[in-house]
C-alpha cells in the first residue's frame, strides 16, 4: 500500500470503529457528544477545525416543522443498487427527489427521449427557477436522441447541452447523473439508464447510487471525467437556433446507417490532427528545432494516416515560414498520388492544390507536384535545380534504396525531406535508415493506433510449445536458422500443440483467415501440409514463390478458399490483406520491429472483423532472447514496469486488447525480464569487455540495454568500464559520491541547459546571470547535500574528477539527443529564469532556478509541492499526477489532472482556505501581478529514480470550487505537449 493510499484505508477503518461506538450510545445527545469529542481530537494538532460543519451537524439532528424538499428514499450519505424491482424506489422517483435539493446537475447519456424528460418536468422547472446550473452531454448514437427533447432542455429548462456528432470512434455509451449540493452531500447514479420512460420507471435497468460520503473516490472520478469531456472540443455546444438542422441530419444519418455523420461541407471545416498525429507533428518539430535535423523518417502502419500527417506537417511549415512552399510528393503508383493530392487539398482547404506528374500527365506550374518515381527520369531530374522544391516527401520510402528513389534523394536539396514508411526494416538487408541519418524521427506506436481505433484490438496468447531452444546456436542476438529448422520441421508433437491451441482459441478454425510466420521455406511447407491434413486448407509461399503464385494465394485467402498462408518473409513484400484475423508466430522473432511488422499484417480494420487472434508459440529460449523488447512494443510500458504487469496479467492494455500467457510461458518471461532488466554486474562487465568501448551510446545501442541497467546505486558506466579493464582515468575522493548522482542529468532536454552543462563540465566559467543560475542548478543536482553559496567551487570538484566529468557529459549528450519536445523561453519579468517551457527538471533544479536555495536552505529542504519565490513574485506548483506508487489508485488519481491541453485542474494543500493570504494570492494573482508556474510528472519514480517534472509554463486563474482544499482550474499559456496530455488525462482521448 502506497503512502498516498494510507489516509483512505485508515479513515475507512476508523469510520467502522466510530459507527460501532455510536451504536453503543444510549441517546442522540450521547452520540452527538461522542462526535464532538472525536472532532476535538482531530482539531487539536493545528487548532483549526478539520471540518467547518458543526452547525450543520446540529441542524441535521434537529426536528423542525419548516417545509423541506422531498428527500430521495436512499439517504444522501449512502450508496445503493437500484434495479426498478418491486418494493424499491424507481430510478425516476429518486431522480425527481434528487433534483429538488440539488444546486447543480450534470448528466451524460447516449440518448435523450421526450418520454423520459416529461417525467422530470416540474423538478427541472423548479431547478431552473432556483438558478441551478444543468449541464448535459449526449450523442447522435443510433439516431435515438429526439431533437425536440434537446431543444426543450436548452430553451425551457435553461440547460447547457453538448453533443458529440461522431460516434464511430468515440463510442460514448455512458449513462450517469451527478447532483452537487452546497452542503457537500453530492450524489450520483451510474448505470444502464438513458433519459427515457422505460429506463426511469420499469425497465430492467441497473444503476448504482454514489455518495460523496460513502464513495468519495467514485464521485471524484465522475467529476474529473465529466469535466474532461465538457472541456474537450469533441463535445460541441448545442444551440437550437444554430444547430437544429445539423443535429437533424446527424440523427437521420445515424438512424439510417447505425453510424454518425452530418452533411456539412467539409471544405469549410479545418482538418485538425488526431491526438497521435499531433504528438508525431510535435516530435517532427522537435527534431528540426532542437537538433537541426531536416531529413526525417516517419514510421506508421499501413492505413493509419501517414499521408494526412505529411499534409498537416506541410501546412504547419507553410504557417511557420509565412509563405507558400514548393512541394514534391513522390510515390510509385498513380492511385497513391491521386489519393495524396486529395488529402493535401482537404487539409489545405484548397481544391486546386497540386498537379500530377504520372502516366503522361504533365504539370503546368510545377510548384506543387505529385509525381510517380518512374516519371522522374534521370533527364528530368537533371533539368531541375537542386533547390527546385522546399519540401520533398517520399511515400513508401522503404523503396528508397532503389536507384529510382535514390536519384531523387541525392539530387534534390530541399529545406525539408520527409520519408513515410510502414516497414523500415527491409528483407533484402538494405539500410533505408541511412537515407535519414540513421534515425527514425517519429513513429506511430502500436498502443496509440489502438487507442485511436486505427487498428483492430488484438488478443495475444503466449503458449508453451515444449521445445527447448537453449542448445540452438545463438550469435549476435539471433538464432541459427538451420538449428531452428531442424527442431521445427517435422516436429509432429509441436504441430499438434499448434492445432490444439487454434481449436481452443477460435470459434471455427476452418473459417479463419490466417498468416503463419515460419523459420524457413521447408518449415512453412510442413505446416501447410499439417493444417491441410487436419481439414484446414492452407498453402505455403515465400519470396521464392513467383508473383502469380503469391497473388493467387492472397486472393484465395480473401475469398475463403484457403484458411491460412504460411510464409517466411512476405511481411516485407507488400502483403496487405485487411481480412487477416489470425496470426500464428511459429518461430522466435528476435527483432521487435519485425515482430510488429508481422503483427501489423493482421491489425488492419475490415468489415465484420472485431479482433486479431495472435498465437505465439514460445519455447525455452536462449538467455539472450529479449522478451522485454517484445512486450514493450506490444504495450508501451516502461521497461521497469513490465515484470509487474506480467505478474498481474497486463491489466492496463488499450481497450479491447488482451495478453494471456500460460503458466509456463509466464514463468519464462518473468525469469527473462528479471535477468534482462536487473542484469548481474558481472554479466554487464563481460558485455562491456566484449564490446571494448568506453562510448556509452555505442554500448547501449549494441547491447540493447538502457540507462536503467547502467546507472544504479551500485554501479556506473565508469565503474563498469574500469572493471572491464578499459582505459579509464583514476578517480579521487569525490568520485564515488558523484558517480551515484550521474542519473540526475539523464533528463536534460533543452538546448540552452544541455550546452551550458557541457561547458561547465569542461571547466568553463559561467557568464551572466542566466548561466550562473544554470551553474546553481547543476550543482544542486550533483552535490545537493553539501550545497553552499560557493557553488562554483563545489562544481569545480566534480569537474576535477575526469572520469565523472566524462560520464556526465556522455549522459547529457544521450539525454538531449533523444529530446523530441520543442521548448520555449519564459517571457516578461521571468525572462531570466533559466527554465524552458516543456523541458523536464528535477526538484533540485527547480528550486535552484527559482533562486530559493542558500546555505541555510539546501535543496533537500524543499519537499512540498508548492513553492513561493517572493523575489520573483512567483508561485510554483510541483504536481505528481499519480500520487500512489500503485499503477492504479482510485482514491488518489483524481485530484490533479489536465482537462484539456490548456486547462488544468489542481487542488491546493488541504490547509489552504479561500480566505487565507495564500488562497487569495492564488485566486487574484493577475490583479496583484504575481505569477503561477506549473510543473507536472506522471508518477513519483521512474526507471532512474525520482521522476523529473515537465515544466508546463505559466498559468492563469480560470475558476475555483470548494475550500480547504481549493480546487482551481488554471489555463496554460502554452498548450501542453500531446504525448504528456495523452498519458495524463483521466479519460480516453475522444
pLDDT tier for residue 988 given thresholds of 50, 70 and 90:
very low
pLDDT of residue 257: 43
How far is the C-alpha of 516 from the C-alpha of 493, rounded, in Å?
17
Least confident among 63-72, 190-199, 346-355, 671-680: 63-72
Residue 894 has pLDDT above 70, yes or no: no
Which residues make Cβ contacts (< 8 Å) with residue 14, sequence separation at least 6?
Answer: none
Is the pLDDT assigned to residue 787 strictly greater than 90? Answer: no
Q: In the prediction, which pLDDT does 572 show?
A: 47
**Partners of 209 in beta bridges:** 80, 189
pLDDT at 22: 85
User: What 3-state DSSP class applies to 969?
Assistant: strand
Determine the pLDDT at residue 69.
77
Which CATH superfamily, name and number, covers 458-677?
P-loop containing nucleotide triphosphate hydrolases (3.40.50.300)
**Quick check: 43 pLDDT over 90?**
no
pLDDT higher than threshold 50 for residue 990:
no
Residue 574 has pLDDT above 60, yes or no: no
Q: Tell me the pairing of strands 187-191 and 176-180.
A: antiparallel
CATH number of 864-989: 2.30.280
With 0-12 / 13-18 / 19 or more C-beta atoms within 10 angstroms meaning exposed / middle / buried, residue 814 is middle
User: Model confidence at 30, in pLDDT bands (50, 70, 90)?
Assistant: confident
Query: Is the Cα dihedral 414, 418, 424, 426 positive or negative?
Result: negative
pLDDT at 272 over 90: no
Whether residue 566 has pLDDT greater than 80: yes
Q: Which of 150-154, 674-678, 878-882, 938-942 has the lowest mean pLDDT?
A: 674-678
Give DSSP secondary structure letters for 392-422: EEETTGGGTTSHHHHHHHHH---SEEEEEES
pLDDT the model gives residue 528: 97
Range 862-883 average pLDDT: 92
pLDDT at 972 over 80: yes
Residue 883 — φ and ψ, nearest 5°? -80, -10
- Average pLDDT on 610-634 reads 89
Q: Of 168-182, 262-276, 325-339, 661-675, where does the model show the most confidence?
A: 325-339
pLDDT at 401 over 90: no
Q: What is the mean pLDDT of the chain?
A: 87
> Where in the chain are the domains?
1-60, 80-255, 275-444, 458-677, 681-728, 864-989
Distance CA 90, CA 94 (A): 7
Of 381 and 263, the one with more pLDDT: 381
For the cut 60, the answer to whether the pLDDT of residue 550 exceeds it is yes
pTM over 0.85: no
What are the tens digits of pLDDT across the range 481-525? 999 999 999 999 999 999 999 999 999 999 999 999 999 999 999
**Radius of gyration over every alpha carbon of the chain, rounded to an integer in angstroms:** 32
In DSSP notation, 239-250 reads -HHHHHHHHHHH
Output the pLDDT for position 57: 44
With DSSP H G I counted as helix, E B as strand and the rest as coil, what are the percentages for the chain, rounded to 5? 45, 20, 40
pLDDT value, residue 90: 85
Q: List pLDDT tens digits, range 111-125.
A: 899 989 999 999 999
Residue 54 pLDDT > 60: no
* pLDDT for residue 156 is more than 80: yes
CATH code for residues 275-444: 3.40.50.300
Is the distance from CB of 447 to CB of 646 less than 8 angstroms? Answer: no
CATH code of domain 80-255: 3.30.870.10
* Backbone dihedral region for residue 333 (phi beyond 0: left; psi -120 to 50: alpha; all else: beta): beta
Residues shown for the chain: 990
- Of the chain, the percentage scoring pLDDT greater than 70 comes to 90
Domains 80-255 and 458-677 share a fold: no
Average pLDDT of span 266-286:
82
C-alpha cell at 760: 561547465
Amino acid at each position: 500500500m502506497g503512502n498516498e493510499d494510507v489516509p483512505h484505508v485508515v479513515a475507512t477503518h476508523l469510520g467502522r470503529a466510530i459507527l460501532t461506538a455510536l451504536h453503543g450510545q444510549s441517546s442522540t445527545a450521547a452520540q452527538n457528544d461522542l462526535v464532538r469529542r472525536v472532532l476535538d481530537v482531530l482539531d487539536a494538532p493545528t487548532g483549526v477545525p478539520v471540518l467547518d460543519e458543526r452547525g450543520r451537524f446540529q441542524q441535521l439532528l434537529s426536528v423542525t416543522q419548516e417545509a423541506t424538499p422531498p428527500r430521495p428514499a436512499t439517504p444522501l450519505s449512502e450508496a445503493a443498487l437500484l434495479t426498478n424491482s418491486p418494493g424499491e424506489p424507481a430510478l425516476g422517483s429518486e431522480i425527481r427527489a434528487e433534483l429538488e435539493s440539488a444546486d447543480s446537475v450534470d448528466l451524460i447519456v447516449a440518448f435523450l427521449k421526450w418520454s423520459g424528460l416529461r417525467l422530470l418536468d416540474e423538478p427541472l422547472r423548479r431547478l431552473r427557477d432556483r438558478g441551478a446550473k444543468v449541464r448535459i452531454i449526449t450523442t447522435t448514437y443510433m439516431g435515438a436522441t429526439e431533437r425536440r427533447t434537446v431543444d426543450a432542455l436548452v430553451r425551457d429548462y435553461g440547460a447547457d447541452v453538448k453533443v458529440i456528432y461522431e460516434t464511430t470512434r468515440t463510442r460514448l455509451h455512458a449513462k450517469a447523473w451527478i447532483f452537487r449540493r452546497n452542503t457537500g452531500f453530492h450524489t450520483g447514479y451510474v448505470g444502464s439508464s438513458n433519459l427515457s420512460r422505460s429506463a426511469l420507471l420499469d425497465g430492467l435497468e441497473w444503476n448504482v447510487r454514489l455518495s460523496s460520503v460513502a464513495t468519495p473516490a467514485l464521485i471524484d472520478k465522475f467529476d474529473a471525467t465529466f469535466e474532461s469531456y465538457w472541456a474537450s472540443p469533441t463535445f460541441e455546444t448545442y444551440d437550437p437556433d444554430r444547430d437544429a438542422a445539423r443535429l437533424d441530419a446527424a440523427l437521420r444519418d445515424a438512424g439510417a446507417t447505425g453510424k454518425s455523420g452530418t452533411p456539412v461541407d467539409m471544405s469549410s471545416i479545418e482538418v485538425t490532427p488526431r491526438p497521435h498525429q499531433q504528438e508525431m507533428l510535435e516530435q517532427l518539430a522537435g527534431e528540426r528545432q532542437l537538433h537541426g535535423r531536416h531529413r526525417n523518417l516517419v514510421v506508421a502502419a499501413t492505413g493509419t494516416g501517414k499521408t494526412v500527417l505529411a499534409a498537416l506537417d506541410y501546412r504547419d511549415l507553410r504557417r511557420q515560414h509565412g509563405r507558400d512552399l514548393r512541394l514534391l510528393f513522390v510515390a510509385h503508383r498513380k492511385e497513391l498520388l491521386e489519393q495524396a493530392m486529395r488529402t493535401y487539398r482537404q487539409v489545405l482547404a484548397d481544391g486546386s492544390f497540386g498537379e500530377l506528374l504520372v502516366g503522361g500527365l504533365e504539370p503546368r506550374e510545377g510548384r506543387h507536384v505529385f509525381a510517380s518515381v518512374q516519371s522522374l527520369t534521370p533527364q528530368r531530374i537533371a533539368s531541375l535545380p537542386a533547390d527546385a522544391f522546399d519540401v520533398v516527401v517520399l511515400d513508401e520510402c522503404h523503396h528508397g534504396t532503389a536507384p529510382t528513389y535514390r536519384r531523387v534523394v541525392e539530387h534534390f536539396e530541399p529545406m525539408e525531406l520527409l520519408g513515410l514508411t510502414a516497414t523500415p526494416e527491409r528483407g533484402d538487408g538494405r539500410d533505408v535508415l541511412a537515407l535519414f541519418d540513421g534515425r527514425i524521427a517519429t513513429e506511430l506506436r502500436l498502443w496509440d493506433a489502438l487507442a485511436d481505433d486505427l487498428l483492430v484490438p488484438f488478443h495475444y496468447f503466449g503458449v508453451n510449445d515444449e521445445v527447448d531452444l537453449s542448445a540452438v546456436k545463438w550469435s549476435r542476438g539471433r538464432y541459427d536458422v538451420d538449428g531452428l529448422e531442424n527442431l521445427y520441421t517435422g516436429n509432429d508433437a509441436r504441430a499438434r500443440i499448434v492445432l490444439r491451441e487454434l481449436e481452443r482459441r477460435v470459434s471455427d478454425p476452418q473459417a479463419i483467415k490466417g498468416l503463419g510466420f515460419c523459420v524457413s521455406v521447408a518449415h512453412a511447407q510442413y505446416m501447410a501440409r499439417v493444417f491441410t491434413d487436419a481439414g484446414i486448407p492452407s498453402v505455403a509461399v515465400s519470396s521464392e514463390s513467383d508473383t502469380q503464385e503469391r497473388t493467387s494465394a492472397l486472393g484465395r485467402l480473401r475469398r475463403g478458399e484457403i484458411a491460412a498462408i504460411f510464409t517466411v518473409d512476405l511481411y516485407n513484400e507488400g502483403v496487405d490483406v485487411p481480412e487477416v484475423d489470425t496470426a500464428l508466430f511459429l518461430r522466435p522473432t528476435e527483432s521487435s520491429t519485425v515482430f510488429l511488422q508481422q503483427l501489423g499484417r493482421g491489425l488492419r480494420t475490415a468489415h465484420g472483423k472485431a479482433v486479431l487472434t495472435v498465437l505465439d508459440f514460445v519455447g525455452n529460449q536462449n538467455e539472450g532472447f529479449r522478451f522485454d523488447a517484445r512486450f514493450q512494443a506490444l504495450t508501451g510500458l516502461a521497461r521497469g514496469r513490465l515484470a509487474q504487469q506480467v505478474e498481474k496479467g497486463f491489466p492496463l492494455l488499450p481497450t479491447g486488447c488482451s495478453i494471456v500467457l500460460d503458466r509456463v510461458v509466464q514463468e519464462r518471461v518473468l525469469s527473462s525480464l528479471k535477468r534482462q532488466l536487473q542484469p548481474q554486474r558481472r554479466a554487464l562487465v563481460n558485455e562491456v569487455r566484449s564490446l571494448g568501448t568506453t562510448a556509452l551510446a555505442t554500448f547501449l545501442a549494441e547491447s540493447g540495454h538502457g540507462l536503467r541497467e547502467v546507472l544504479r546505486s551500485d554501479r556506473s558506466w565508469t565503474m563498469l568500464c574500469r572493471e572491464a579493464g578499459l582505459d579509464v582515468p583514476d578517480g579521487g575522493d569525490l568520485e564515488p559520491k558523484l558517480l551515484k548522482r550521474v542519473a540526475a542529468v539523464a533528463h536534460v532536454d533543452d538546448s540552452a541547459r544541455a550546452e551550458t552543462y557541457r561547458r561547465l563540465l569542461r571547466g568553463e566559467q559561467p557568464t551572466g546571470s542566466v548561466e550562473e543560475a544554470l551553474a546553481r542548478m547543476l550543482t544542486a543536482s550533483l552535490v545537493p547535500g553539501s550545497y553552499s553559496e560557493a557553488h562554483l567551487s563545489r562544481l569545480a570538484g566534480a569537474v576535477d574528477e575526469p572520469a565523472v566529468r566524462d560520464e556526465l557529459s556522455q549522459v547529457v549528450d544521450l539525454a538531449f539527443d533523444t529530446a523530441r519536445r520543442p521548448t520555449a523561453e519564459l517571457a516578461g519579468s521571468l525572462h531570466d529564469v533559466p527554465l524552458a517551457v516543456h523541458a523536464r527538471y528535477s526538484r533540485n533544479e527547480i528550486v535552484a532556478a527559482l533562486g530559493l536555495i542558500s546555505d541555510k536552505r539546501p535543496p533537500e529542504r524543499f519537499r512540498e509541492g508548492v513553492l513561493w519565490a517572493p523575489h520573483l513574485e512567483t508561485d510554483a506548483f510541483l504536481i505528481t499526477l499519480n500520487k500512489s506508487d500503485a499503477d492504479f489508485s482510485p482514491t488518489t488519481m483524481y485530484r490533479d489532472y489536465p482537462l484539456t491541453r490548456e486547462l488544468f485542474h489542481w487542488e491546493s494543500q488541504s490547509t489552504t482556505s479561500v480566505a487565507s493570504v495564500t488562497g487569495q494570492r492564488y485566486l487574484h494573482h493577475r490583479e496583484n501581478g504575481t505569477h503561477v508556474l506549473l510543473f507536472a510528472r506522471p508518477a513519483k519514480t521512474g526507471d532512474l529514480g525520482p521522476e523529473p517534472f515537465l515544466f508546463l509554463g505559466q498559468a492563469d486563474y480560470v475558476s475555483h470550487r470548494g475550500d480547504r482544499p481549493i480546487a482551481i482550474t488554471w489555463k496554460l499559456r502554452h498548450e501542453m505537449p500531446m504525448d504528456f496530455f495523452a498519458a495524463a488525462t483521466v479519460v480516453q482521448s475522444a
